[in-house]
Structure 1
Amino acid sequence: MPAEDPVTADLIRRLDATEAPLPLVQALAQDFASGRFPDPELALNGLRAALAAAAETAALAGENETLKQVAALNAAGDRAGAAVLLDGATEEPLLSAAFRQDRICNAPRTGGGAADRTAQGRRPRGGRVPGLGRSAL
């Protein structure tokens, strides 16, 4: 997947991430260069954060087969495929990996879902936390 447009090529050049997997760098750069970020520095920072999240997942994969698969899919640029493997995660280390994957996919709505799964697991039965109003949930 070549970086054909000049904005994507510029992001990749400025990133200077020689250790990151090229397919992931290209996929992320194309996503961040697509115009959602009006400021090139903001796009570059988002790209760096997403690559750091992917590197952290890869480093923590250890003996966890799911995390190994997630890391491999991310390295190949298949961020959506990696996210599917973490869909529905409710326990560590997969829950933390799901939060990182939300960052890699630049999907804040998915992140809200992961945060909601965490909150669901920590709420007492009935869904109410004493001392917190309804808006806090």
Structure 2
Amino acid sequence: MASKLRQYIINNSITFSLFIVYSGFIFLKVENLDNYNFYEGKIIGIRNITSSHTAGRGGPVLINRNIPEVEYYKDNDTIRYDQGELRLVTNFELNEKVTILENKEDEYENKIYSLFYYWIDFNELILCLLAFLFIYGYIKNFIK
């Protein structure tokens, strides 16, 4: 049995590595949801921000991003804030209903519960890539 599992892992090292990293990532993200309270809210505005950055010898680089402004209700209060973090995709529409995650320990730490605002973060993607490379390298070099 162990021999068949070892042979499967060796023959499917990329798939196995991706499965291990994906399983760990999803487990940690689901466990992290316990740290948040959930509230219903809506997108009340979308601001387009353009910033200029100098890149080496070239001229300035303009970066556009849309920042959703969110409103949600908590204990008969209306709370408004903007989700100003840089994200891969901001595809919200005006008056779209969203779920807001509010940190139980810090009520000023809020996130929109969506694919690119909760589930996928730049830093986590980099860590997942490094974990994948480590596991894949371990399989290729040490499991024979």
Q: TM-score, normalised by structure 2?
A: 0.26
Whose strand proportion is higher, 1 or 2? 2
Whose helix proportion is higher, 1 or 2? 1
Q: TM-score, normalised by structure 1?
A: 0.27
- Relative contact order (alpha carbons < 8 A, sep ≥ 6): 1 or 2 greater? 2
